[in-house]
A and B are shown apart, each in its own frame.
Chain A
Amino acid sequence: MAAEGKAIDALSQFELVPFMGALGESVRFSQSNAHMLLAFGLITALMMWGTAKRSIVPGRLQALAESGYEFVHGIVTGQVGDQGKRYFPFVFSIFMFVLFGNMIGLLPYAFTFTSHIAVTFALAALVFVVVTVVALAIHGTHFFSYFFPEGAPKALAPLIIPIEIISYLSRPISLSVRLFANMVAGHVMLKVFATFVVMIGSAAGVLGLIGAVLPMAMNVALVGFEILVAFLQAYVFAILTSIYLHDAVHLH
């Protein structure tokens, strides 16, 4: 039913537009950045004001803030061990930033900044740089032994070392593409089925309205699924960051 040039336009939702007109235009502040700012505000509000009352028996907001804290704290200390406490704020910020980015993006009219490869790659590169700097700071040049596992036959060195280096360097790529692809796929699906609802619904009168229920139901299910994906991808991002930090701290 793509008649009259009504192609399904699932990609324009990812376009960057200036935020607040000329003001955003002048500093190249896009709606994507506005959503990041919103995420910052929501996370800060949750953590700062959620626990501001310091109740012994927490209310809902405080319980949410505390369980978020303990969830990420569990991931970091579980993966890295006690030395991981130093990196906890970093992993927590990453987790919350990605989680809120994914979740805010599911709201109507909202923009999903985690659907931009530039954003996810920048985050992944940040993780990569932090992990590498941590490893170098702890182990010095001994860090490079990471690329040749102890006990491996020397003859295999020409094979193992390039493989290890490639796998190490590909970390930020896999980390960023995983999140980016998940979010894009989800939002494209939502947009496609939403377009079906409108197309079928406006096409054939009463029959069309009945037919439009199907893609609508699909979208309802998809939104539920996307909430799972939003959480899961933030979790994956955080746990992979923790695993990389484990490697940096312990070298294998």
Chain B
Amino acid sequence: MKKTIRIATLLSLATLPAMAQVASEHPGATSSAGMPQLDFGNPWTIAQVVWMLIIFGALYYVMARYALPQVESVLEARRARIEGDLESAQAAKQRADAAMAEHQAATAKARTEAQAAVGAATQKAQAEAAARAEALNAKLASQIEAAERQIASARDNAMGALRQVATDTADALVTRLIGRSDSAAVAAAVERELAARGRA
């Protein structure tokens, strides 16, 4: 049927050169008065309408049956194609969004991990520093204690020596003053005096 339409179309287009011939063969024959269109007595006027109905019928048939469905299918295919493209674009965008979200999640995770590692390292370093400081403090404290002990023992020694010196001096003074010595009394006096001053 498509072939028939093709042939019919070509034949109808072939009327074109034939028309020029008609026009040149009939250079407007002198008409009777009035418009030729209103000459309904002319059998050609009626025949023209009959042929028109046939040709228009053929046109309607070809349009309704073949041409318009074809155009519609082309338009439909384009619509479908565009919709498909839009859909795939949307899918691609979704994929990209998902990848982006994944990337962001990975970045966030890496950041928290890094922060945790930094925190742990800081803590460890602080702990180490604290331990070292404590050890140092302990060492210093022990040194200070030793030094204090040394000082105390030195003072005690000095204090012990002081009693001897005080006793001897006092004894020598008493001997010089009174001409005799009373070592026991002097020692007791020195002892009393030292106790009074808190240096026993």
Contacts and interface: CB of A to CB of B under 8 A. Distances in A.
Given A44-B62, A56-B81, A118-B37, A15 B74 contact: no
Contacts of A41: 8-13, 15
Given A19-B22, A119-B48, A48 B56 contact: no
B140 interface: no
Contacts, number: 188
Interface stretch (A25-33, A201-209, A244-252): A25-33
B157 interface: no
A141 interface: no
Given A28-B44, A47-B63, A180-B37, A40 B55 contact: yes
Contacts of A88: 68
| Main SS at interface, chain A | helix
Interface size class of B (residues with CB under 8 A): 35 or more
Contacts of A17: 22, 26, 29
B19 A15 contact: no
B58 interface: yes
Contact of B9 (A9, A28, A34, A44): A44
B111 interface: no
A66 B70 CA distance: 10
B36 A16 contact: yes
23 contacts: A12-B28, A12-B30, A16-B42, A29-B51, A33-B55, A37-B11, A38-B13, A38-B15, A39-B59, A40-B8, A41-B10, A41-B11, A47-B63, A48-B6, A56-B77, A56-B78, A69-B72, A89-B63, A90-B64, A97-B59, A116-B37, A118-B45, A184-B37
Report the 9 A-B pairs with minimum CB-CB distance, sorted nearest first: A41-B12, A28-B47, A89-B64, A12-B28, A47-B67, A109-B23, A33-B51, A41-B13, A37-B12
Interface of B: 5-6, 8-13, 15-16, 18-20, 22-24, 26, 28-31, 34-38, 40, 42-49, 51-53, 55-56, 58-60, 62-64, 66-68, 70-75, 77-78, 81
